[in-house]
Amino acid sequence: MKADANWRHLCVDMQRMFAEDTPWNVPWMERVLPQVEEVSKRHAARTIFTRFVPPMRAEDATGAWQDYYRKWDVMTREQMPPDMIDLVAPLKRLVPPARVLDKPVYSPWLDARLLSQLREESVDTLVISGGETDVCVLSTVLGAIDLGFRLVVLEDAVCSGADDTHDAAIDVLAQRFSVQLELLPTEEFLRQAPVLV
C-alpha cells in the first residue's frame, strides 16, 4: 500500500445471520474474525461496516430479488429475529467510532451515501475484509475499482461458504485486477498501514 494513502477499512457483512446457524451460515467467518477484529480495533475510526439487510417480505424487494427472497423466505426480516442483521458481537462493540452502512443488495455502491462519504473525506484507497469473497466482497471490490479507488484485499480476512468459488474469486482478483488491487495478508497490512492523523 502506498505510504501516502488516505484509506478506509471497508468490512463487508460480518453479521450474525452469516455467523450463526442459519441457511446462510458461512463457516469460514469464525476463522477470519480474528484478523477482521484486529484491523477494526486498531483502526476503528477508519472502519466502515456494511450490513446486508433483507426486506421485510419478499414482495417488498425489487424485480428478481422477489424470487430470491421467495426461495430464502426464512431470511426475510418478517421471519428472522431482528437482531440477526447485527454485526457479530466483537465488531458491534467498535461502533462508534466505526461506522455502519446498511444496504439492501450485494453492492454498497447502489446509492450515493458511501461514495459521498468517501469523497468528502478524500479517501483514495479501500482495505477490504469480510464475506462472502465470491458475492458481496466481489461486488464491493468491482464497484470500487470502477469508481477509481485503489484496493487492498486482506486475503486471510475474507471468507466464503464455498471453497471453490472463494479460490476462483481470489484468482480473478489477483490475475485480472493486479494494477488496481493488491492482495495482502492482514499482518503485513498492519505493519505498513499509515497511521491516522
pLDDT at res. 190: 94
Angstrom distances, CA of residue 89 to CA of 20, 128, 149, 169? 12, 19, 29, 28
Q: Which residues pair with 140 in a beta bridge?
A: none
Please report whether residue 62 resides in a domain. Answer: no
pLDDT at res. 4: 72
Please report whether residue 75 resides in a domain. Answer: no
The string of DSSP codes covering the chain is --TT--EEEEEE--BHHHHSSSTT--TTHHHHHHHHHHHHHHTGGGEEEEEE---SSGGGS-TTHHHHHHHTGGGSTTTS-GGGGSBPHHHHTTTTTSEEEEESSS-TTSSSHHHHHHHHTT--EEEEEEE-TTTHHHHHHHHHHHTT-EEEEEEEEEE-S-HHHHHHHHHHHHHHSTTTEEEE-HHHHHHHPPPP-
Q: Which residues pair with 128 in a beta bridge?
A: 10, 153
Please report whether residue 64 resides in a domain. Answer: no
Please report whether residue 65 resides in a domain. Answer: no
pLDDT at res. 2: 74
Which triple of cell numbers denotes residue 121? Answer: 473525506
Contact 47, 157 (CB under 8 A): no
- The number of distinct structural domains making up the chain is 1
C-alpha 152: how far from chain center: 12
Please report whether residue 77 resides in a domain. Answer: no
- pLDDT tens track, the chain, 197 positions: 776 789 999 999 999 999 999 999 999 999 999 999 999 999 999 999 999 999 999 999 999 999 999 999 999 999 999 999 999 999 999 999 999 999 999 999 999 999 999 999 999 999 999 999 999 999 999 999 999 999 999 999 999 998 999 999 999 999 999 999 999 999 999 998 865 43
Predicted model pTM = 0.94
The domain of 39 spans 7-56+87-192
List the end-to-end C-alpha distance of the chain, in Å, as a whole number: 17
**51 contact partners, CB below 8 Å, separation of at least 6:** 13, 15, 85, 86, 87, 100, 101, 102, 103
Say which CATH number the domain at 25 has: 3.40.50.850
Please report whether residue 40 resides in a domain. Answer: yes
Please report whether residue 81 resides in a domain. Answer: no
- Widest pairwise Cα distance in the chain: 48
